[in-house]
Amino acid sequence: MLLLTKYIIRGGENLEKLEKEWVFILSLVLVISLMAGCGSSQAPTATEISPATTTEPTSAVTTTEPTSEGDEIVTLRFSWWGGDARHEATLAVIEAFMKKYPNIKIEPEYGAQDGYNEKKTTEFSTKTAPDIFQIETGSGPEYCRMGVLYNLSTLKNISFDKFDPNFIKENGQFGTGSQYAIPTGIAGSALIVNKTLADEIGIDFTQQYDWEQLIEWGRKVQEYNPEYYLLSVNTFNGVSFFVRTYARQLTGRAIIDDETKTLTLTEEQFTEIFDLIDRLYKSKTCAPAAYKAPYNPNKHQEDPKWINGEYVASVGYTSNALVLSEANPNVEYIAGCMPLLPNRKSDGWVNNCPQFMGIYAETKHPEEAALFLDFFFNSEEAAALLGTVRSVPPSLRAENCCRKRLS
C-alpha cells in the first residue's frame, strides 16, 4: 500500500522531486559500482568486542509484524544530527509513527554534528542519554565496549530479515555476533561533479582516469580561472578519499590488517600517497587546506565557492551528495567516476554506512524503542518520507519501496 502520497519531505515537496533525488543518489552508487567494481571491496572485517554487561533480556523471538502492547503512554527521546533536509524528513517519520501508535510519544532532539559526541559522553556518564540515538560510525565500537548499547538481537519488535546479512554483520555487530546498532544507509566515498562548469572547461569525470589526471585537470581549471579549483576537499573526507582509497588500490587491503593489527603499507608506499597529496595541493588542484578548515567535517555545502559554482567537483560521501547538489540549484550535478591506479590490486572503494542507530542500554522501554526503529527502517511509509537523507536505505524493503517510485 502506498502511504502518505504527499510525501512530507522538505516542507511538502512532491513525488517528482523525490524521484529526482533518488535518480541522483542511485546514479552515484551505480557509477562508482560500475567503474570501480565495488563488489570486490568488502567492508572492513569487524574486530571482536566484548560489550560491557547490560540489563537487557537474554532471549526473544523475532517477528516481522511487531506490535505495540498495552495502552500505557510511553515517551521515548530520540536524538540525531544532520541538516535541515534530514531534520524535516525524520520529524515527518516521527509524526507518522505516532499516528500509527498513539500510545508512544517520540520527543525529538536534533541539531548539528558539532559537539554531538561530547554531549553523548556526558549523557552516558550521567545516565541521561536518550532512548534512541544516532551514532557516528567511529564511535559505535567504543559505545559497544562501554555497554551503553542495547543488544537489539534480543528484542522481538524489530526484524533484520530484510537487511543484507553480511552488511549488518560488518556494520553494527562489532564482532560480537549480536546486533548492537543498525546502519542507517549504504554509502561510500563519492565525487559530486558540477557538470555545468566541467563542460565549460572541458573536463570529463564520466570517463575512467588515473590519479595523475587530477593534477592535469587541476592545471586546466587554474588556466580557466585562477580563483577556481578542481576539487573541494577538506582533511576530514580527504583522508578517506586520498589515503584509504589509494592505499587499497596499491595493496588490495585495508591500511591496518584486522587480524595482525599491523600496517599493510611499506614506508615507500606511504611516501607515494603523501607525495600525491602534496602535489594536489601545490598544483592548486585542491582548494587550500586552511581555507577549507572551517567546513570540516561535512560542511562543503556552506563554502561560498561551492555555492557560487567555483569548484568542478566535491569529494564527499553518497550520504551527503544530495545536500551538496542542493546548495546551488543553478547548475547540473552528476556522479563522477573515481580515479584508478593503472596497476591497481583493488578498486579501493569501500561500501560502508554513514551512521548507526542504537537503543540506550538503560532505556526503560526497549521494545517500544525497537518498534520505532522497525518502523523507521522497514516500513514503506518511512522509506517514502526519508528518501535519501541518510544515503541509500540499508533495508531491502525500504530500498525497493523507493526504487518502485522510479519505475
Whether 86 is covered by a domain: the verdict is: yes
The answer, yes or no, to whether residue 43 has pLDDT greater than 70, is: no
pLDDT confidence tier of residue 396, bands split at 50, 70 and 90: low
Sign of CA dihedral 170, 171, 174, 180: negative
State phi, psi for 29 to the nearest 5 degrees: -65, -45
Q: What is the pLDDT of residue 4?
A: 29
- Same domain, yes or no, for 180 and 262? no
Separation of alpha carbons 66 and 378, rounded Å: 11
Q: List C-alpha distances in Å: 29 to 202, 208, 401.
A: 24, 16, 17
The answer, yes or no, to whether residue 67 has pLDDT greater than 90, is: no
pLDDT digits (tens, 9 = 90+) for 314-327: 988 776 777 788 88
Cβ atoms < 10 Å from Cβ of 289: 14
Sign of CA dihedral 198, 203, 204, 208: negative
Q: What is the pLDDT of residue 6?
A: 30
pLDDT confidence tier of residue 73, bands split at 50, 70 and 90: very high
- Asked whether the beta carbons of 261 and 226 are under 8 A apart, the reply is no
pLDDT digits (tens, 9 = 90+) for 181-195: 999 988 777 889 999
- Same domain, yes or no, for 181 and 202? no
Whether 11 is covered by a domain: the verdict is: no
Whether 165 is covered by a domain: the verdict is: yes
Cβ atoms < 10 Å from Cβ of 154: 18
Whether 50 is covered by a domain: the verdict is: no
Give the number of domains in the chain.
2
- Same domain, yes or no, for 90 and 175? yes
- Asked whether the beta carbons of 41 and 32 are under 8 A apart, the reply is no
| CATH number, residue 368 | 3.40.190.10
The answer, yes or no, to whether residue 26 has pLDDT greater than 90, is: no
Name the percent of the chain lying above pLDDT 90.
57
- Asked whether the beta carbons of 378 and 372 are under 8 A apart, the reply is no
Higher local confidence (pLDDT), 56 or 178: 178
- Same domain, yes or no, for 246 and 327? yes
Question: Which residues, in sequence order, are bridge partners of residue 286?
Answer: 231
- Same domain, yes or no, for 369 and 327? no
Separation of alpha carbons 158 and 377, rounded Å: 9
- How far from chain centre, in Å, is Cα 312? 22
- Same domain, yes or no, for 329 and 359? no
pLDDT confidence tier of residue 63, bands split at 50, 70 and 90: very low
Range of the domain at 104: 74-186+352-404
Mean pLDDT in the chain?
Answer: 83
Q: Which pTM was predicted?
A: 0.68
Higher local confidence (pLDDT), 52 or 155: 155
Whether 54 is covered by a domain: the verdict is: no
pLDDT digits (tens, 9 = 90+) for 128-159: 999 999 999 889 999 999 999 999 999 999 99
Grid cell digits, residue 171: 556494520
The answer, yes or no, to whether residue 253 has pLDDT greater than 80, is: yes
- Same domain, yes or no, for 308 and 363? no
Separation of alpha carbons 360 and 367, rounded Å: 12
Is the previous residue joined to 297 through a cis bond, with omega within 30 degrees of 0?
A: yes
Whether 45 is covered by a domain: the verdict is: no
- Point out the domain boundary residue: 287, 308, 336: 336
Q: What is the pLDDT of residue 47?
A: 46
- Same domain, yes or no, for 108 and 203? no
Determine the 3-state secondary structure of 381 from DSSP: helix
- Point out the domain boundary residue: 278, 302, 336: 336
- Same domain, yes or no, for 213 and 309? yes
Mean pLDDT of 71-82: 94
Whether 143 is covered by a domain: the verdict is: yes
- Same domain, yes or no, for 157 and 273? no
- Same domain, yes or no, for 90 and 223? no
- Point out the domain boundary residue: 336, 361, 386: 336
Amino acid at position 132, single letter: I
pLDDT digits (tens, 9 = 90+) for 189-244: 788 999 999 999 999 999 999 999 999 999 999 999 999 999 999 887 787 788 88
Separation of alpha carbons 347 and 39, rounded Å: 9
- Same domain, yes or no, for 180 and 201? no
Whether 242 is covered by a domain: the verdict is: yes
Q: List C-alpha distances in Å: 110 to 16, 87, 196, 393.
A: 28, 7, 35, 20
Q: What is the pLDDT of residue 239?
A: 77
Mean pLDDT of 321-338: 87
Q: What is the pLDDT of residue 402?
A: 53
